[in-house]
Homo-oligomer: A and B are copies of this chain.
Amino acid sequence: MGVTIKDIAKETGFSVATVSRVLSNKVGFFSQETAAIVNAAALKLGYKKNMAATELVTQKSSIIAVIINSTKTNFSDPIIEGIQQKANEADKRVIILYAGDHDFRSQQRALTTALERPLMGILLLSVDLFADNLQLLKTANVPFRFISISFQDPDLKYVASDDWQIGYLATKYLLKKGHRKIGLAGVDIESSAHTGKLRLAGYQRALIENNITPQKDWIQTGNYSYKAGLNAMKNYGQQKNVSAIITGSDLVGIGLLNQAAKMNISIPNDLSLITIDGTYLCRIVQPQLTSITQNFYSMGYLGAEYLISNQRQNAFTDIQISERGSVRKLTAADSEN
């Protein structure tokens, strides 16, 4: 069909070997004049390299596959941007595959689509693999790394935020603002990723360090979704057994915010809220949400970097507190109730 190096060889009178060397820029194997002739011919004929052939013979490729679950993870964009940036710098290519919404078959399809070709490596964006699919990945002999979630399994390398710190910091922040009855909402402590468990542990530690015993009804678990936020707020109920809440994601925060409004609970006047993630969503709702902001861009960049340079260790990216409008400082007057 298309134009091949053979066509260029015929056109220019050189052998395919020489044409190949010019086109893949194997410096030192051709003269400048030859290069000029070959490149001109390639341009003239509209040559496009057939990667299938290249990958077949070289047995490797410059492609990084990014696997992402299709549930609305609104922070995937900056991660992907970070990956793209690093990939460009290292002259790698990026393709993205959707692995469905925690669906075994979709995961498997994405994984095999990726593994059925030579690959530089695989980056998994907050996708919690089923055991069989994880096995498939492990045996594939392709480097891979998780981004934004962490695991105990030493075989599973990751770049993520320090989720213990996130829980700890968020809690300390609220304590400093005078809150003592602090909730945690919408984090998943069942998943095989231990993100949620770590956040919970950090949260509990901060409370205990301040001589506060965490109450069971302060914690409303969930799957980081908008709906989880709605439900959490319903469960906290009108009686406000907490004065401030940490939400597991921006969507949880917004869900909680809206449910509170429906219940005539005003944020931050009646209830304070700090959310984990800090994506643009925090800035488009009213009030804007104070957040523990994760550095997603950096997560992607670093993930790609570690994958490319074949590093083995895990890495944490930085987090920071972004003060917006959803946390109120409690005063002496508040302590009365």
Contact = CB atoms under 8 A, between A and B. Distances in A.
A297 to B, nearest CB: 12
A284 interface: yes
Contact of A254 (B81, B97, B284): B284
Interface residues of A, number: 49
Contact of A97 (B88, B95, B116): B95
Interface string A65-100: 000001010000100110010001000011111101
A285 interface: yes
A270 interface: no
Contact of A48 (B53, B100, B115, B286): B115
Interface in A85-131: 88, 93-98, 100, 106, 109, 112-113, 115-118
Per assembly, the copies of the chain total 2
A2 to B, nearest CB: 7
Contacts of A49: 116
A56 B117 CA distance: 12
Contacts of A50: 56, 116-118
Contacts of A116: 48-51
A331 interface: no
A50 B98 CA distance: 21
B93 A113 contact: yes
B1 A59 contact: yes
Contacts of A97: 94-96
Contact of A285 (B48, B100, B117, B285): B285
A332 interface: no
Contact of A70 (B52, B59, B80, B140): B80
A141 interface: yes
A98 B118 contact: no
Interface in A223-258: 226, 251, 254-255, 258
11 contacts: A48-B140, A50-B116, A53-B56, A63-B113, A70-B81, A81-B98, A88-B109, A94-B98, A95-B97, A96-B96, A226-B280
